[in-house]
Structure 1
Amino acid sequence: MTRPNENANASQPTTSDGLSNRCTKLLGDLIESSRNLPSSGSDLGTITLSVNEIKRRARELRAMKKADSNHTKAHYLLANSGVSIQDVDYCLASLESRQLVEQHISKESDGDLDAYLRVKKNENILSSIEQSLMCAAKDFDVFVNQNFNFDWEKRKEEVRENFGILMKKHKSNSKTSSASSSSRSFPWGSSGRRILDGESKLNVNENYSVRKKFEKYAIIINSFNNARQADRSFNLPKEFLTQFSSSSDYSDRQIHESWKILDEVQSYNTVTVASRHYLERHFLSYVDDLYKKNLSEGLPTNANKVKSFIECKLKNPDNTWKHPNLTVVNGLPVWALIFYLLRAGLAKDALEVAIAHKLSFKKVEQSFLSYFKAYMASPNQNLPHELVTRLHTEYNQHIKNSLDGDPYRTAVYKIVGRCDLTRKNIPTIVLSIEDWLWVHLMLIKEEVSSDEPIYERYGLKDFQGLITSYGASRFQNNFLQVLLLSGLYEHAVEYAYTLSESDAVHLAIALASRNMISVSNYDASDAKSFVSLKGEKKELNFAMLIGNFTSSFKFTDPRIAVEYLILIAMNEDKDQVSLCHEALRELVLETKEFTILLGKVNRDGTRIPGVIEERQGLLRLSDEQEFLHRITEQAASKADEDGRTYDSLLLYQLADEYDTVICTVNKLLSGLLSNTDLDQPLLNLDDNSETNPVLIAKRIMGIYINNLEIAKTIRSKSKENCLLFLKLVDIRRVYLNEEWRRALELIEEVDLIPFADESSCRTKAQEFSTLHPEVLKVISNLLIITMSCISHIVDQLKRSDYPSVAKEEQSAALRKVAKNCMIYAGMIQYKMPRETYSILINFEVDI
């Protein structure tokens, strides 16, 4: 009959882990119970058998084991122990695997204790390596969790927003996103304004014509910067005008006319005067061309040219005048002649015509000469107050509402006296757009007095408001010229951008070069528009405009990109200068064209400046060297961070960070020595000093050590490590040439491995942790080379036809060195690659 607890155990399944734990407890109880058994002294004496003999007899006893597992005789022993024989049987079975392992080891040992110990040693090594790999995997998981801890919900929202799925955001999310964006920092230390992240649709390499236009502009900008650097004058609009001829396309024609306007108006102080004079010269040129086509009698005076123009424009084919109310004297419309002489900027000629035809004036017109003479005598064409009052009275009473009055008389009175400004147009005269602009510019008063009635005030702002209210549709294909002539330069750039981005950018550059536009502070939050409204006036985000344009060719033409970006600092505004510097940093780090932008170092150590350094005189730098050092150092750090070691090496040289250069070279040498197979050369015939770390190190050390100023900046430890690596390179070369003894001599000289005695092994092992990380990487290969050299030399001595005591002593000395190496390797085995120790053991066996 079984006990109730045994029944319960029999009816329920038990897991292997549960049984294992229970077996452990049962065996422990059994051992504890055995201590209560009676015992007596033994007269067998001590065991004097060897380990091998014990193992042999143990195998014999196991061979005599019966096939069945009848433990009946043990029941009497276990009866009072509380232990079930079934449980003991399971525990014995669970230990079977361990027994099989020991048998396997025993069979491999074949009675050889040294072989057994070697197998156990290898097992210990592999176990330690597995533990090391597990720790490394765990460390890697921790690193991934720390460095790639993404907020997946936030990333999901960003992706959805990019695809236009998420159209609306909660205010809280917007604030969070904004805060995150504003707090984002960049490795080069800028404010994060990202000037070159524009969305330009321009492709300067789209086709031949676009590329040709781009290159023409680039040549002019380069010449412009050369002139600025040499402090020479340079007429940018005239250069544009010379390079680009007129085109049948209306957009190109507008741009061409714009260069003409800027070329002529940039030397004037006020917009009104500049634009008025431009329109007058342009009209006179037109009259002159017309006169040449329709030559008439008389001398080619300005008055005769204007008369010829009037004949062409105001007469019908039947030789009658188009306007029936013209005042014609001797076949000449006097008031029309005066008006068009004024229109051509020939005010003196107009006064002469008025004086010559004084007698033909009507009674109400007799006082006009006094007004006209006062108008001509005034430097700003402003009549004295008393004359203004009289002229306005006569105009309102007799001129304005005259049914049979000459329309050109009305126009001349209106211009000279600035009369009836509530109605600035002259409806009975057909005016071109240029004529209309000129009339309004003549009516504008530069300085408006507050004493004047509101309806008599008409300033430039009023005129500009009228232009913008009409818009582009009112002026057809002349809107760009109208904007420039009315002084709306920011509007002109904005409108030109709709015609051609490239032309608009250069229009802005030409305007900025003469301080003709208002430049705003950079606002990265509004990346869709480079024009902002400040009060009633627009401002141009010049840096954004240049940055967007430059982003379209920064990778294909980085040198040209510099020429444009330095224009941001053209005017000495601190914010613009700062933006210029940031843009240059971005260009360097994004394009990675370090040689072009920052320069390079020749093989002899001489430095060739890059385009940024060549243009440093235009960068408005308080400390030129500090800026170049900073931008170069930041680029070097970024290149090093991205794993572009050779780029960082160049940049650190340019930044005069010579100690960092040596450290970088040491890193390259360490990688080469530790990663190159021992049967492969470190130098090939096609290697050069630009790419091979060995040649780089030799060249740099030759330059730096011989230069006292540079040598002072290099730490002694960095220099020592570099020289050590170069010695290791020589060791590899000698080893590859199978000069075993010479290789051992060189290895002993570098003093990284214990050669002397066993006590030096512990000393070197203690020093191991103090070595530079780059030096630690080469120790394993150095140990392998050492053991390989010893193995080859010992093998040569063994195969010698004439053995001698000296050779035996040499072999013994070499084995002693090998033993020291193995002891040293055993102390640092877990700090070396996993296969190194196995390789060393194989060499030890051969030796």
Structure 2
Amino acid sequence: MNADKGAGIKSLGIHDSLSKDSAKVFSNLIETAKSLPTTSSELGAIQLSVNEIKKRAHELRAKTKPKNDHTRAHYLLAGSGLAIQDVESSLKALKSRQLMEQNVINRAVEDDLDTYLKTKKDENILSSIEQSLASAAKDFDNFINQNFNLDWEQRKIEVRENFGILTKKRRSNKHSVEVQSSMLPPKWGGSGRSILDGDSRLNVNENFATRAKFEKYAKTINSFNNARQGGYDFSLSHEVLQCFTDPTDANNRQLPEAWKILDHAHKVKDVVSSSKSFLEKQFLDYVGLLYTKVAGEGLPTNVNKVKAFIDHKLKNVNNTWKYGNLTIVNGVPIWAFIFYLLRAGLVQDALEVAVANKLSFKKVEQSFLTFFKAYVNSKDRKLPNEFISRLHTEYNQHIKNALDGDPFRLAVYKIIGRCDLTRKNISSITLSIEDWIWIHLMLIKQDVSKEDPVYEKYELTDFQTIISSHGASMFNGSYLNALMLSGMYELAIEHAMTINEIDAVHLAIGLACYEKLNISSSKDGNNNELVSCQDGEMKLNMTKLLGNYTKSFKFSDPRIAVEYLVLINLGATPEGPEVCHEVLRELVLETKEFTILLGKVNRDGTRIPGVIEERQSLISLTDEQAFLHKITEQAARRADEDGRVLDSLLLYQLADEYDIVIGIVNKLLSDLLSNTDISQPLLNLDDNSETNPVLIARKLINVYVNNLEIAQKIHAKRKETCILLLKMVDIRKAFYLHNWSLTLEKLEGIDMIPFADELSSRKRAQEFSNLSSDIKKNIPNLLIIAMTCVSKIVGELNSSEYQSPAKAQQVEALKRLAKNCMIYAGMIQYSMPRETYSILINIEVAL
């Protein structure tokens, strides 16, 4: 009893131990199974059927079948006090229990078999879908590789084509154009980048104020181009100044003044003389305005205006003079009076004041009148050479270092004698920026010679260096005007760009108009900067400036973009016209606004020019027809390549490539006929002549055939193909209206389907390969239409209440026609869609 109990306990212990071991084994199996290949792995899936699994499991059991030999176990268990019989009985009990569990498992497997099969079916479906997607992706990749070849040599050719540097070679049998590169880089380019894709962040449509300014300028530029083209006078500076309507705008206050400087400068080519006279006039205008405000004494003469200015400028609030060493004569500081008369450009008035007050001059100043008269009476406002050394001596000995000297006396001596050029500033007098610039301009000597001593040399370039070295910080919001007055127009544009880009662009246009700018040459190398130093002087990249500006509105306002881009040729370098042509070509290809830019063709075939052609006289075209043909044809090829068929049709017409036009129309019409179900109409009520191939073809054939000049440019075969396709359209219309007899009559009229006999069927089959692709692809539909019409007519005749020999003969004739069609179809069946022959057979069987 105890032994049995002990054996039972030990048996249970063995079973528990086995269960734990089994659980561990199964855990290991599960973990190992995770590393098996899955459907997503590169090794593929392991797919075994249920029978295969059962077969392999049976083979494994056969190899590892246990034997009832427990001899070795006897030794193992000898010292444990456990009888081998007990162990064997325990194993039998365990086997019985395992068998029961296996039966339960088998039943569960049988119950789950349906679920397994269903799951397997779902997996197969998903696998098929996955394979279809993979196949589609592979097909798409192949399509991309075939249609978008990334061969770099080919890409270089395409890039060159974009920039119009290709030579063309037409092929008569296709409407496409083969091109070969001239292997020359764009002459205008430095970076190879599109001119119209610059780095400007300007957006003229950003807000109402910016858009309003843009439109004002655009109207002015349009009027300017009209005047240039018409050959009549137009004051660009005057018109632009009208655009500055807000005088309180501090940021833009410099721009109107810059235009005033430009307006004055274009009348005088010499920068120094122009700037001096501008500053003098500006000062006199200010003095006059001040005179009206302070109500000065006496008549409003220039002398009295300057006198009133001195009272206002040099007196303190308590009516005392700001400077203690002023020479006062009759209540007027005489030297300050002479200085400001000179500042206002009133040289003769200054001499008269000096003569009238000569008694007030000190002994050391007695020779001043002699010097001053010689200065005023000289043509170029220069002191004659015989007086220069005497004045310099007097200045150095008595004026320069006089402790109680009048500061304005020093200024007057320095100006008329160009004294002490090592110290050009007059620190003892408070000067405005304009005064400071004016004094420097007065000290400049423009005809410096090698014989002149170094201390006598002060040229415009020296003054420009001083201004540029000081930079914008010194001039307190007047740096743009300082650059303009010193003749540094290129740097002025660069600085104006930091104030307002729109204003800066138009200031550059004005400077180019008045021939004040140095325009950079595209031959100067990699010049991507707006302003650069070339050949020792500053130059402006006008192409970059205008290209950047038009970037923000080339799509919204292409017509206005042309108005600006033609200005590239304004005062440009010798290759300016060529650059202008390249940029206009870019505009056409990028915007695709072909009707606006290149023109359109009326219903009667007449051509209406686009804006580029309207401005052809402004872009220096030596052969405008060649240029327009080239740019139009290039745009047509691009449109054709992009699949924009209607655009390419328009452009090829504009390029006078009428044969190509008919070729494209034939393809459109053929595709429409072959791809539209024969039970559907080819024309809908909402179709229009601009988009429907049928209407397009009818219009063009009518225009081209009636125009002898155009007709001569079209190949006879293409014209015949188009006419034949239009006849097929009429056949389709009769078929859609169920007019079976008329349909057959029209089919017989085009002579494309064998109506006569078996011999004609064979002959048509032999000629099939020689047909154009546009006709060939429509033969299957014509056969189906013919057989359908025969079937319908035969059916009507057979169902007729009254039968006659004539009707019987007609049925026989129709059946012979059907037989001829089937012979023909049988001979060309492998050149037709697979389903076409089946449809024809079904129709024939039903006859």
Deviation at 1:330, TM superposition (A): 1.7
Distance of 2:487 and 2:199 partners within structure 1: 29
Deviation at 1:517, TM superposition (A): 0.7
Please state if 1:534 is matched with 2:509: no
What is the correspondence of 1:187-336 to structure 2 with a 5 Å cutoff?
187=162, 189-190=164-165, 191=186, 194-336=194-336
Distance of 1:187 and 1:567 partners within structure 2: 22
AA at the equivalent of 1:224: F
1:688 matched to which residue of 2? 688
AA at the equivalent of 1:587: L
Distance of 2:524 and 2:201 partners within structure 1: 19
Q: For the structure 1 residues 383 and 565, does the alpha-carbon distance in structure 2 shift closer, same or farther, using more than 3 Å as the test?
A: same
1:622 matched to which residue of 2? 622
Q: For the structure 1 residues 149 and 231, does the alpha-carbon distance in structure 2 shift closer, same or farther, using more than 3 Å as the test?
A: closer
Q: For the structure 1 residues 143 and 447, does the alpha-carbon distance in structure 2 shift closer, same or farther, using more than 3 Å as the test?
A: same
Please state if 1:669 is matched with 2:644: no
How far does the alpha carbon of each residue in 1:656-677 deviate from its partner, in whole angstroms, 9 at most, with x for none? 2222222222122111111111
What is the correspondence of 1:460-479 to structure 2 with a 5 Å cutoff?
460-479=460-479
How far does the alpha carbon of each residue in 1:621-673 deviate from its partner, in whole angstroms, 9 at most, with x for none? 00111111221111112111111111111112222222222222212211111
1:85 matched to which residue of 2? none
AA at the equivalent of 1:309: F
1:419 matched to which residue of 2? 419
1:573 matched to which residue of 2? 573
After the TM superposition, which of the residue ranges 812-821 and 188-197 deviates more from structure 2? Answer: 188-197
AA at the equivalent of 1:307: K
Distance of 1:736 and 1:290 partners within structure 2: 91
2:716 matched to which residue of 1? 716
Deviation at 1:413, TM superposition (A): 0.7
2:506 matched to which residue of 1? 506
After the TM superposition, which of the residue ranges 560-569 and 794-803 deviates more from structure 2? Answer: 794-803
1:391 matched to which residue of 2? 391
AA at the equivalent of 1:441: L
What is the correspondence of 1:746-785 to structure 2 with a 5 Å cutoff?
746-785=746-785
SS of the residue aligned with 2:194? coil
Deviation at 1:701, TM superposition (A): 1.6
1:555 matched to which residue of 2? 555
Distance of 1:183 and 1:476 partners within structure 2: 51
Q: For the structure 1 residues 199 and 373, does the alpha-carbon distance in structure 2 shift closer, same or farther, using more than 3 Å as the test?
A: same
SS of the residue aligned with 2:561? helix
1:83 matched to which residue of 2? none
1:436 matched to which residue of 2? 436
Q: For the structure 1 residues 482 and 181, does the alpha-carbon distance in structure 2 shift closer, same or farther, using more than 3 Å as the test?
A: farther
Distance of 2:379 and 2:317 partners within structure 1: 42
Deviation at 1:141, TM superposition (A): 7.8
How far does the alpha carbon of each residue in 1:126-166 deviate from its partner, in whole angstroms, 9 at most, with x for none? xxxxxxxxxx9999987654544558xx9xxxxxxxxxxxx
Deviation at 1:193, TM superposition (A): 5.2
TM norm structure 1 = 0.78
AA at the equivalent of 2:258: S
Q: For the structure 1 residues 711 and 188, does the alpha-carbon distance in structure 2 shift closer, same or farther, using more than 3 Å as the test?
A: farther
Instruction: Tell me if structure 2 keeps the 8 A contact 1:558–1:591.
Output: yes
Deviation at 1:402, TM superposition (A): 1.1
SS of the residue aligned with 1:597? helix
AA at the equivalent of 2:221: I
Distance of 1:672 and 1:316 partners within structure 2: 93
Deviation at 1:838, TM superposition (A): 1.8
How far does the alpha carbon of each residue in 1:799-830 deviate from its partner, in whole angstroms, 9 at most, with x for none? 23333333333223222222222222222222
AA at the equivalent of 2:296: S
Q: For the structure 1 residues 145 and 203, does the alpha-carbon distance in structure 2 shift closer, same or farther, using more than 3 Å as the test?
A: closer
AA at the equivalent of 1:189: G
Instruction: Tell me if structure 2 keeps the 8 A contact 1:761–1:823.
Output: yes
Q: For the structure 1 residues 211 and 709, does the alpha-carbon distance in structure 2 shift closer, same or farther, using more than 3 Å as the test?
A: same
SS of the residue aligned with 1:317? coil
1:402 matched to which residue of 2? 402
Instruction: Tell me if structure 1 keeps the 8 A contact 2:164–2:585.
Output: no
Instruction: Tell me if structure 2 keeps the 8 A contact 1:598–1:613.
Output: yes
2:585 matched to which residue of 1? 585
SS of the residue aligned with 1:769? helix
SS of the residue aligned with 1:186? helix
1:490 matched to which residue of 2? 490
After the TM superposition, which of the residue ranges 702-711 and 452-461 deviates more from structure 2? Answer: 702-711
Please state if 1:454 is matched with 2:454: yes
What is the correspondence of 1:797-816 to structure 2 with a 5 Å cutoff?
797-816=797-816
Q: For the structure 1 residues 709 and 343, does the alpha-carbon distance in structure 2 shift closer, same or farther, using more than 3 Å as the test?
A: same
SS of the residue aligned with 1:835? helix
Q: For the structure 1 residues 453 and 622, does the alpha-carbon distance in structure 2 shift closer, same or farther, using more than 3 Å as the test?
A: same
How far does the alpha carbon of each residue in 1:64-93 deviate from its partner, in whole angstroms, 9 at most, with x for none? xxxxxxxxxxxxxxxxxxxxxxxxxxxxxx
Distance of 1:247 and 1:780 partners within structure 2: 77
SS of the residue aligned with 1:659? helix
Please state if 1:353 is matched with 2:328: no
2:744 matched to which residue of 1? 744
Distance of 2:295 and 2:406 partners within structure 1: 28
Q: For the structure 1 residues 495 and 769, does the alpha-carbon distance in structure 2 shift closer, same or farther, using more than 3 Å as the test?
A: same
2:45 matched to which residue of 1? none
Distance of 1:197 and 1:525 partners within structure 2: 19
How far does the alpha carbon of each residue in 1:278-304 deviate from its partner, in whole angstroms, 9 at most, with x for none? 110110011111111122332221111
1:14 matched to which residue of 2? none
How far does the alpha carbon of each residue in 1:451-473 deviate from its partner, in whole angstroms, 9 at most, with x for none? 11122111110000000000000
1:380 matched to which residue of 2? 380
After the TM superposition, which of the residue ranges 408-417 and 445-454 deviates more from structure 2? Answer: 445-454
What is the correspondence of 1:47-62 to structure 2 with a 5 Å cutoff?
none
Deviation at 1:525, TM superposition (A): 8.8
Q: For the structure 1 residues 523 and 815, does the alpha-carbon distance in structure 2 shift closer, same or farther, using more than 3 Å as the test?
A: farther
Distance of 2:527 and 2:803 partners within structure 1: 88
Instruction: Tell me if structure 2 keeps the 8 A contact 1:572–1:620.
Output: no
SS of the residue aligned with 2:539? strand
Q: For the structure 1 residues 139 and 716, does the alpha-carbon distance in structure 2 shift closer, same or farther, using more than 3 Å as the test?
A: farther
Deviation at 1:792, TM superposition (A): 1.1
TM norm structure 2 = 0.78
AA at the equivalent of 1:744: L
2:656 matched to which residue of 1? 656
SS of the residue aligned with 1:533? strand
Distance of 2:523 and 2:841 partners within structure 1: 68
Unaligned runs of 5+ in 1: 1-135, 155-175
AA at the equivalent of 2:488: L
AA at the equivalent of 1:424: K
RMSD: 2.5
AA at the equivalent of 1:647: D
Instruction: Tell me if structure 1 keeps the 8 A contact 2:272–2:486.
Output: yes
2:725 matched to which residue of 1? 725
Please state if 1:844 is matched with 2:844: yes
Please state if 1:825 is matched with 2:825: yes
Instruction: Tell me if structure 2 keeps the 8 A contact 1:303–1:349.
Output: yes
1:702 matched to which residue of 2? 702
2:160 matched to which residue of 1? 185
After the TM superposition, which of the residue ranges 269-278 and 371-380 deviates more from structure 2? Answer: 371-380
Deviation at 1:572, TM superposition (A): 5.5
Distance of 1:188 and 1:458 partners within structure 2: 48
Distance of 1:475 and 1:804 partners within structure 2: 113
2:104 matched to which residue of 1? none
How far does the alpha carbon of each residue in 1:759-778 deviate from its partner, in whole angstroms, 9 at most, with x for none? 32332222222211211221
Distance of 1:581 and 1:148 partners within structure 2: 29
Deviation at 1:392, TM superposition (A): 1.2
SS of the residue aligned with 1:604? coil
Distance of 1:144 and 1:471 partners within structure 2: 55
Distance of 1:149 and 1:608 partners within structure 2: 38
Identity of aligned residues (%): 62
After the TM superposition, which of the residue ranges 663-672 and 278-287 deviates more from structure 2? Answer: 663-672
Distance of 2:214 and 2:510 partners within structure 1: 16
SS of the residue aligned with 2:161? coil
SS of the residue aligned with 1:273? helix
Instruction: Tell me if structure 2 keeps the 8 A contact 1:325–1:404.
Output: yes
Distance of 2:357 and 2:730 partners within structure 1: 108
AA at the equivalent of 2:605: G
1:341 matched to which residue of 2? 341
SS of the residue aligned with 1:252? coil
After the TM superposition, which of the residue ranges 246-255 and 184-193 deviates more from structure 2? Answer: 184-193
Q: For the structure 1 residues 210 and 138, does the alpha-carbon distance in structure 2 shift closer, same or farther, using more than 3 Å as the test?
A: closer
SS of the residue aligned with 2:364? helix
Instruction: Tell me if structure 1 keeps the 8 A contact 2:297–2:308.
Output: no
SS of the residue aligned with 1:539? strand
